Amino acid sequence: MQKEIQGFIRISKYAGMRNDLAQAGGGNTSVKLNDQIMLVKSSGIQLADVSEKNGYTNVDYRMIVDYFKENVKDGSEPALTEEAGKELLSRAWKEGGRASIETFLHAVMGKYTLHTHPALVNVLTARQGGKKVLEELFPGAVFVPYRKPGAALAETYYRICQAAGRPEIVFLENHGLVVSSDSEAQAIERTEEILHKIAAYMQISYEAQPNATKLWNAFSDIPGLSDKIVYLSENRYLTNEEPEKLILAEEKWNHAFCPDCIVYGLKRPLFLAEDFRREDIIAFMKSYGSPAMVCYKGRFYILAESVKKAQEIENVMSFAVQVQMANLSHEMNYLSDVQQDELLNWDSEKYRRML
């Protein structure tokens, strides 16, 4: 059971740290622990914040499945009204946060279910003629017409997916993507395959976002980094476009000119080669400690405990670039290593950094 919970946390963080997959509190994940109990991301919780002790609801999914089997028949009228849905969800709830309205959808899928709102997918699910394109690209997938999220969507979803034999890939019109699998690794891999295929069809660049996942996988077994998410910065100052590229280089960058830059950005960014090895990361950490920011293939990625904290670091590092850019023709005053260490080891700043 512990393995299943860790897998559930992993797919939640995978989707939650990627703005192209889930925005704000959107998207859902679930795992079935046995033939009765399912964990599903709680309503109002960001996917990246799901942890072993927080962010999910324990429900009796068998109760939901049985309801559909008994009440939803071929040719029958809609059975699950909003009120009936609320009552059913209340009875199925066992413990944890507020059950998501998408719990019904997860109940009728496989062991691991990853429901995301990818920008690439929604380009087609929101486009007239998009269904035909998706059917051609993914012949074995199912397309569910738009319904209001909750009871109406759940029943339509159930009818179509039952007829299709519980498919692994489901596209929701004007909504998003559902991938179901027997393992979290397969759910992530299948989601990535779908996005790469759509990107290739639309002939658009799709590398920076998957590289966040690549880095996250590389850090997953490194002490001090394994519990962090990897967040792609889309701040305009943290790019390698002119004129910022004059600063965003390993030999040029130095944000050690103010306390906040040290507290949030730590000692220095980690610059990785395209063919980096685990040893490169370990060597950096022995010299400078854990990085808060990584530069890879010309893009910056933020390492943090949550999306909120990553965005705070991004904000401070954007400020750091602007100050450095304005001083390109001037000498700057930098804090010494001793002064930097004082800040990083100061209890007040440690507390603020963790908030």
pLDDT along the chain (355 residues), means of 10: 92 96 89 96 92 94 92 75 86 91 89 96 96 95 89 84 82 94 95 97 93 96 94 89 71 92 94 95 95 93 95 95 91 94 75 54
Alpha-carbon radius of gyration of the chain: 23
Side chain identity at residue 235, one-letter code: N
Give ∠ CA 117-105-144 in degrees, rounded to 5: 65
Give ∠ CA 184-122-308 in degrees, rounded to 5: 60
Q: Is the dihedral of CA 46, 49, 51, 54 positive or negative?
A: negative
Looking up tokens 């080891």 gives 345
Give dist(CA 123, CA 127) in Å, integer: 6
Tell the burial category of 2 from Cβ atoms under 10 Å away from its Cβ (0-12, 13-18, 19+): exposed
Give dist(CA 186, CA 183) in Å, integer: 5
Can you give the pLDDT at residue 268? 92
Can you give the pLDDT at residue 352? 53
Distances (CA, A) of 12 to 17, 30, 306: 9, 9, 12
Strand partners, 299: 296
The distance from CA 114 to its chain's CA centroid, rounded to whole angstroms, is 10
Give yes or no for a contact between 282 and 226, defined as CB atoms under 8 angstroms apart: no
Can you give the pLDDT at residue 235? 93
Q: Measuring CA to CA, which residue among 350, 173, 167, 327 is closest to residue 252?
A: 327
Alpha helices in 97-247, H assignment, sequence order = 103-107, 119-125, 130-137, 151-164, 184-202, 208-219
Give dist(CA 97, CA 41) in Å, integer: 9
Q: Phi first, then psi: what are they for 289, rounded to 5°?
A: 85, -170
Can you give the pLDDT at residue 322? 93
Beta strands in the chain (DSSP E): 28-32, 37-41, 56-60, 93-96, 112-116, 142-144, 169-172, 176-181, 229-232, 270-272, 293-296, 299-304
Q: Is the dihedral of CA 45, 49, 52, 53 positive or negative?
A: negative
CA end-to-end span of the chain: 31
Q: Measuring CA to CA, which residue among 69, 64, 26, 62 is closest to residue 44?
A: 26
Give yes or no for a contact between 205 and 147, defined as CB atoms under 8 angstroms apart: no
